[in-house]
Structure 1
Amino acid sequence: MSPVFSHGDLRLYLLNLLDEGPRHGYDIMQALSDRTGGTYTPSAGTIYPRLAKLEEEGLVTKSVDGRKTVYAITEAGHAEVEARSGELEGIEAGLADSVRLIADEVRGSVREAMKSLRADLAAASAEARTQAKQGPQTDDPRVFAREQLQRADASVNEFRARVRSDLRTHVARGGELTAAFVDDLTADLDRIAKDVTRILRG
């Protein structure tokens, strides 16, 4: 994935955040994570040196409020934000694209997991039919059936774990889960369940 911020864009975006109002360091980092849908979570080692540079340039001031250092934009900083408003619009558009991209990646990952599960189930069903024609490999067909059931359980559990991991990672990064996406996911899972029933009744 390409960087969320191109060269120089982060500097301008920091000024833009501070133009909205004074913020302390952690608040700035959280705002960046939230507004990029979790695609960019900066470290203190990235943000504080840039804030220090902005302070040296006279674009930002800092003050101590209890145990927190609060940063505020100066008139010169505000003037730069105003002068570069067109660039900021481009940056905002890029951030929106990043949020859409990560949502698309989650949807793609879920679809791939579903395809994999369908393929595994179809292969298991075909193998079971072949084994049934050839006769059981064990003395007791119930033992064979239990072995295949364990394989199917493992496939379903792996699918569930992959989807849960993708969804939880997406939300942890600040991404959104729309009602439409969850509805589509529920419908897809329902189709898989019907496919399983159809294959088993084959």
Structure 2
Amino acid sequence: MAPVFSHGDLRLYLLNLLDEGPRHGYDIMQALSDRTGGTYTPSAGTVYPRLAKLEEEGLVTKSIDGRKTIYEITAAGRAEVAARAGDLEGIEANLADSVRLIADEVRGSVREAMRSLRADLAAASDEQRTGATPTATPADDDPRVHSREQLHRADAVVNEFRARVRSDLRTHVARGGDLVASLVDDLAVELDRLGRDITRSLRG
């Protein structure tokens, strides 16, 4: 994935965040993560040197509030933000694209996992109907034994799918990503369709 901020864009975006109001360092880093949908989580080593540079340029001032260092934009900083409004619009558009991209990636992951699950369960259903297995031995000839084995396999596949998708979704949201309703709707529809396909296959 391409960098979220091109050269010089982060500097301007920091000014833009401070133009909204004073912030301490951690708040700035959290805001950057939130507004990029979790695609960019800057380190202190990235943010603080840039804030120090903005302070040297007279665009930002800092003050101490207890254990926190509060950064505030100056009149000169506000003037630069206003003068570069067009550049900021371009940055905001790129950030929106990044959020859409990560949502598409999550959506693709969900669909791929559901296709894999459908294929595995269809194969298990076919084996159950035919009673055939590539590695069958005399001890496996009992269809009931084979069915129980396939049931355990199906349980494992379903649990693996659930764990993987749940982890992907939780990680996405924890990083500040936007979990769009259409993605959840697609998940519900696909799972319902898959459930009906499995029921029809089992009824033969």
TM-score range, shorter chain: over 0.9
Once residues 34 and 193 of structure 1 are traced to their aligned partners in structure 2, the CA distance between those partners, rounded to angstroms, is 36
Q: Secondary structure at the match of 1:61?
A: strand
Percent of pairs with identical residues: 82
Once residues 66 and 90 of structure 1 are traced to their aligned partners in structure 2, the CA distance between those partners, rounded to angstroms, is 37
Q: Cα deviations across residues 30-85 of structure 1 (Å, max 9, x unaligned)?
A: 11111111111111111001101111111111000111100011111111111111
Checking the alignment, whether the CA contact within 8 Å between 1:63 and 1:70 is kept in structure 2 is yes
In structure 1, what residue type is equivalent to 2:195? Answer: A
Q: Within 5 Å, which residues of 2 pair with 1:142-181?
A: 142-181=144-183
In structure 2, what residue type is equivalent to 1:147? Answer: E
Q: Secondary structure at the match of 2:90?
A: helix
Q: Structure 1 runs of 4+ off > 3 angstroms?
A: 132-137
Q: Structure 2: give runs of 5+ residues left out of the alignment.
A: none
Checking the alignment, whether the CA contact within 8 Å between 1:136 and 1:144 is kept in structure 2 is no
Q: Structure 1: give runs of 5+ residues left out of the alignment.
A: none
Checking the alignment, whether the CA contact within 8 Å between 1:33 and 1:173 is kept in structure 2 is yes
TM-score, with structure 1 as normaliser:
0.94
Range that drifts further, 170-179 or 15-24: 170-179
Once residues 8 and 184 of structure 1 are traced to their aligned partners in structure 2, the CA distance between those partners, rounded to angstroms, is 39
Change (3 A) 1:122 1:69: same
Q: Aligned-pair distance for 1:144? A: 1.4
Once residues 141 and 97 of structure 2 are traced to their aligned partners in structure 1, the CA distance between those partners, rounded to angstroms, is 59
2:84 alignment partner in structure 1: 84
TM-score, with structure 2 as normaliser:
0.93
Checking the alignment, whether the CA contact within 8 Å between 2:4 and 2:39 is kept in structure 1 is yes
Match of 2:187 among 185, 188, 202: 185
Once residues 2 and 178 of structure 1 are traced to their aligned partners in structure 2, the CA distance between those partners, rounded to angstroms, is 22
Q: Secondary structure at the match of 1:114?
A: helix
In structure 2, what residue type is equivalent to 1:81? Answer: V
Give the length in aligned residue pairs: 202
Once residues 167 and 32 of structure 1 are traced to their aligned partners in structure 2, the CA distance between those partners, rounded to angstroms, is 20
Q: Aligned-pair distance for 1:88? A: 0.3
In structure 1, what residue type is equivalent to 2:21? Answer: G
